[in-house]
Amino acid sequence: MDGSRMILRPAARIVRGTPTSDGAGVKLNRLIGTQQLDSVDPFLMLDEFRSDDANDYIAGFPEHPHRGFETVTYMLAGKMRHGDNKGHSGRLDAGSVQWMTAGRGIVHSEMPEQENGLMWGFQLWVNLPAKDKMTAPRYQEIPPAEIPTASLPAGVTAKVIAGEIAGVRGPINGIATQPTMLDIALPAGGTVTLPLPATHAVFLYPFEGTIAVGEAPDTIGHGNLIVLGPGDAVRIAASGGAARVLLVAGRPLNEPVARYGPFVMNTPQEIRQAAIDYQAGRF
Ligand code: MN
């Protein structure tokens, strides 16, 4: 920060998720992409799926399309098998990330591979700028061993999925919205202050323990999504015991959004075209 004083981003909005189901009946908690919180430009949706009851997830997400944006799947526990109509397939194990740029279109399925046990993870939808919406589909699939960990002061560590923190660069590259995505682990009483571009939108999701954000002493726990206000740094403190926090930042696109289910374009005409192309088998 060149010695100048950092402006800590405050918690501007705190929203609890909306329990919902998607795919063939997978129960999940939708944190972004609800009536309450439509989007955090460039982020269109964030779901947390977490259950140790197979009935909540076993039906999975059978074949469905995407066009015009990116889906990011981060698995904390369990296994997800995926396969698409271009012949790409694989399995996401606990700790792995898939950053899928759908671009002009893919049709894929995302199905739990396990029949019981804990299934826990996130799916984030990241918008693409108008100029990239019809780009060729691209996958970045990162196993846990290839996600580096940054060691920060006070025993805090951060798995760096995207972006760079403390000289540690994450493996995800070439994303239009220049995202930072971190899985931060704070020991009891631990505090971390991270510089992040003032241009970016930032949200936090504590998924274990409780945290305090910025200068405010308020304790915020699991199930609350925190949209941060302006500033050039983020301060997070573990306010109870140990805590884990998902931090996501990205450059807002400030473009019109036309959205219908799995299609996210700029105009209603482009949405109609997406439906026509999908029905004609052109994905
Ligand atoms: Mn999908």
Residue 82 burial by Cβ neighbours in a 10 Å radius (0-12, 13-18, 19+) = buried
Tokens 């995800």: give the residue.
172
Distance from the CA of 141 to the center of ligand 1, in angstroms? 15
Distance from the CA of 173 to the center of ligand 1, in angstroms? 20
Residue 171's pLDDT is 98
Distance from the CA of 187 to the center of ligand 1, in angstroms? 34
Distance from the CA of 110 to the center of ligand 1, in angstroms? 6
Distance from the CA of 233 to the center of ligand 1, in angstroms? 32
Give all domains of the chain, ordered by start, each with its CATH number.
Answer: 3-279 (2.60.120.10)
Which stretches of the chain score pLDDT less than 50? 1
Residue 115's pLDDT is 87
Distance from the CA of 123 to the center of ligand 1, in angstroms? 9
Residue 87 burial by Cβ neighbours in a 10 Å radius (0-12, 13-18, 19+) = exposed
Residue 254's pLDDT is 98
Residue 55 phi/psi, 5° resolution? -60, -25
Q: Using an 8 Å Cβ cutoff, are 94 and 118 in contact?
A: no
Question: What are the tens digits of pLDDT across the range 214-254?
Answer: 999 999 999 999 999 999 999 999 999 999 999 999 999 99
Distance from the CA of 160 to the center of ligand 1, in angstroms? 23
Q: pTM for this one?
A: 0.97
Distance from the CA of 283 to the center of ligand 1, in angstroms? 14
Distance from the CA of 107 to the center of ligand 1, in angstroms? 8
